[in-house]
């Protein structure tokens, strides 16, 4: 009896869990256009990967800056030779490199050297006198890592803009496909009602069998179009779920505003806004500064290496730790190829890159102007087509009413009526599609201007 109750309890628990899972799976996610955009920015997998790259770039900056931290390196030595004399030394080296290129170090050491107590304190200063001296040269690694970090941020921002545009296109694509389903369903309802009237007229001898055949054939065509349209919506929802990183099994409904107002910006104003806000313009300016910095570094490398090392040493008996012996040493070293062919060629190559960068800047400005003008032209085209399609819809509506009147009064068969219905359906669909294209075009126009997505400040 107890076992039976136990298994009944397990079965009830399983049913409860199954019902809970089914309820969770059936939970529907309702998203507006704004919510879909925010969801994509928060969950898109490509953006998540970009954020990981950003974290790697930040770590690279920290690594480059750590070269100027205080470093303490312990050291030890233990040795023995054939004379049975043992040597052991224990110490550490503390050093710090400064932004000017100077390196200061201190090295205390104690131990036993050949059976004799030994103590040493050494202080040294290394300074480049020609090549390598100065903050710009010493901080070159940090500057390069900061440039790479900012480039990664701009790339992440560009990816965010791309994801926003993809989301807008996907959402409005679904809205357009759903509208087509509504139009087809309404057309199907009207056609079924028309088919009933045709059959009544046929029985009364007021219509021919051909009228019924036409209506039935058209009705089958509409059923096929509806099947295809519903599959298109499912496919589009699948793509949107992938973009938003939503499980494919989840239910999602989308709504978006359909208001459309033509842009009032003039071409010159739009180009000026784009030049001020476009991310590639900012990146081009940064690239110019980076190329100039690399050019100065290449010019510095033309100088011969001339380094100064100054050291001061105190040594003595480690039992008393009395450092009685005092020595100092100053050394100037220089090395390098006399002809310096590699350095000169590197400098010339950097000059060539600088000139190429200047040409790219001119091309970029021309491309931005062309893109802005093209988008304004596309928006103007949408405005004109919307006006034409509205007039066309008005005409097809009039033709539809006239065809209905003639068929109702026996002045024409239903061929003209079905044709008018199909034309009106196509006009409604085309007008809605053009409005959607115009709305999406406005978002694309904002992306060309560089004003689609606000940027967040992120200082290293």
Smallest CA-to-CA distance from 416 within 247, 252, 218 is with: 218
Contact 294, 350 (CB under 8 A): yes
Q: Does some domain include residue 317?
A: yes
Contact 219, 195 (CB under 8 A): yes
pLDDT tens-digit map of 52-105: 999 999 999 999 999 999 999 998 888 776 666 778 889 999 999 999 999 999
Rounded to two decimals, the pTM is: 0.82
Q: Does some domain include residue 214?
A: no
CA separation for the pair 394, 413 (Å, rounded): 23
Q: Does some domain include residue 110?
A: yes
Give me 205's structure tokens: 């001898």
251-255 vs 305-317, strand pairing mode: unpaired
Helix (H) or strand (E) holding 32: strand 28-32
Q: Does some domain include residue 68?
A: yes
Q: Does some domain include residue 83?
A: yes
Domain, as residue range, for 80: 50-128+308-339
Q: For residue 37, is pLDDT > 70?
A: yes
Q: For tokens 């219509």, name the residue.
A: 207
Number of separate domains in the chain: 1
Tell me what the pLDDT averaged over the chain comes to.
Answer: 86
Smallest CA-to-CA distance from 212 within 425, 365, 418, 356 is with: 418
pLDDT tens-digit map of 24-35: 444 678 999 999
pLDDT tens-digit map of 158-190: 999 999 999 999 999 999 999 999 988 988 888
């Amino acid at each position: 009896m107890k076992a039976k109750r136990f298994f009944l309890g397990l079965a009830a628990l399983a049913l409860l869990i199954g019902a809970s899972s089914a309820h969770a799976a059936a939970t529907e996610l309702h998203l507006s256009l704004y919510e879909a955009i925010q969801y994509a920015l928060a969950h898109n997998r490509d953006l998540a990967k970009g954020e990981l790259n950003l974290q790697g770039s930040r770590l690279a900056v920290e690594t480059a800056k750590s070269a100027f931290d205080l470093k303490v390196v312990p050291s030890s030595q233990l040795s023995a030779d054939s004379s049975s004399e043992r040597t052991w030394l224990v110490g550490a080296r503390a050093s710090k490199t400064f932004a000017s290129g100077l390196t200061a170090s201190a090295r205390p050491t104690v131990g036993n050297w050949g059976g004799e107590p030994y103590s040493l304190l050494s202080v040294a200063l290394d300074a480049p006198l020609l090549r390598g001296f100065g903050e710009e040269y010493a901080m070159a690694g940090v500057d390069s890592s900061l440039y790479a970090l900012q480039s990664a941020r701009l790339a992440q921002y560009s990816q965010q803009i791309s994801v926003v545009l993809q989301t807008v296109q996907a959402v409005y694509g679904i809205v357009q496909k759903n509208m087509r389903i509504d139009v087809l369903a309404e057309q199907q309802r009207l056609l079924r009602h028309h088919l009933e009237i045709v059959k009544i007229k046929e029985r009364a001898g007021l219509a021919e069998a051909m009228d019924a055949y036409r209506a039935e054939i058209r009705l089958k065509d509409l059923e096929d179009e509806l099947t295809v349209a519903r599959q298109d919506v499912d496919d589009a929802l699948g793509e949107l779920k992938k973009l938003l990183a939503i499980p494919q099994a989840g239910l999602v409904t989308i709504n978006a505003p359909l208001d459309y107002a033509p842009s009032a910006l003039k071409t010159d104003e739009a180009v000026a806004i784009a030049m001020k806000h476009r991310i590639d313009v900012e990146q081009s300016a940064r690239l110019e500064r980076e190329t100039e910095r690399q050019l100065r570094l290449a010019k510095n490398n033309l100088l011969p290496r001339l380094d100064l090392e100054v050291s001061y040493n105190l040594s003595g008996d480690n039992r008393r730790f009395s450092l009685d012996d005092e020595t100092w040493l100053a050394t100037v070293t220089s090395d390098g190829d006399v002809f310096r062919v590699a350095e000169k060629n590197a400098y010339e190559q950097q000059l060539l890159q600088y000139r190429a960068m200047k040409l790219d800047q001119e091309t970029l400005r021309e491309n931005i102007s062309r893109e802005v003008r093209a988008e304004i032209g596309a928006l103007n085209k949408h405005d004109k087509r919307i006006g034409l399609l509205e007039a066309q819809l008005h005409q097809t509506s009039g033709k539809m009413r006239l065809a209905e009147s003639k068929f109702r009064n026996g002045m024409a068969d239903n061929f003209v009526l079905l044709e008018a219905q199909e034309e009106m359906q196509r006009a409604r669909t085309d007008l809605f599609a053009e409005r959607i294209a115009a709305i999406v075009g406005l978002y694309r126009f904002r992306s060309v201007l560089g004003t689609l997505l606000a940027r967040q400040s992120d200082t290293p």
